[in-house]
Amino acid sequence: MAQLPISREKALEILKSYNPEEFDMVHYLESEAVMREVAKLLGEDEDYFGMLGLLHDIDWTMTKSDVSTHLTKAPEILKRLGFEDDFIETILSHGYGFEELPHLKDKERTKKVEYALASSETITGLVYAYALMRGKKVSDMEAKGLKKKFKDKAFAAGCRRDVISEIEKTGLTLDQLFEAAIRGVTGIKEEIDLS
């Protein structure tokens, strides 16, 4: 995998400079943590996968007032920071197929790293909602319980199960993703005010 043009510290500094909602910042950190765990399982570069997770919604704060423009500003921002085209395209790929994003809705994910990012960033919503339901506790969460929530379509209904299931296209199982997601989020629990 290609080298990263900026450090994690710099990436965090940039994200924070856009004044994200705390809830959004939590989502970025969780996505990073889950991507690092998924990278380990796939034998991929943890820093590269982690950076994809951390920055995947880099233009969210400035585009969320008009969701249809989400990911239209990301390429320019990332390019300016020195990221290569591959990295930028992977970031965009997590929006492929979404009706809400006219510029990306007709594209399809085809690469392992794309499936990994889309499923990892999406499962964070499920883990976080489940943790809140459990009194903000994640450290003793079990994959079995998370799987039940995954199957319960009414729970965190906006959390796209079909996208989470794309993890299977990387060769990993859903159970492996559930475990990786819990491990990842548990690893940063203090930072995101969980226990």
Q: Kindly list the residues in this chain that would bind Fe ion in the complex (CB under 5 A).
A: 57, 121
Residue placing its CB nearer to Fe ion in the complex, 32 or 121: 121
Closest Cα to residue 40, out of 140, 122, 116?
116
Q: Residue 40 in 3-state DSSP?
A: helix
Question: CA quadruple 184, 25, 110, 156: dihedral positive or negative?
Answer: positive
Residue placing its CB nearer to Fe ion in the complex, 132 or 148: 132
Task: Find the shortest distance in angstroms from Cβ 94 to Fe ion.
Answer: 7
Is 106 exposed, middle or buried, given 0-12, 13-18 or 19+ CB atoms closer than 10 A? exposed
Closest Cα to residue 184, out of 65, 25, 38?
38
What is the token pair recorded at 174? 């859903």
Task: Find the shortest distance in angstroms from Cβ 7 to Fe ion.
Answer: 21
Task: Find the shortest distance in angstroms from Cβ 112 to Fe ion.
Answer: 19
Question: CA quadruple 80, 86, 88, 89: dihedral positive or negative?
Answer: positive
Task: Find the shortest distance in angstroms from Cβ 155 to Fe ion.
Answer: 19
Residue placing its CB nearer to Fe ion in the complex, 43 or 158: 158
Residue placing its CB nearer to Fe ion in the complex, 21 or 140: 21
Task: Find the shortest distance in angstroms from Cβ 144 to Fe ion.
Answer: 25
What is the token pair recorded at 11? 């990436």
Residue placing its CB nearer to Fe ion in the complex, 57 or 166: 57
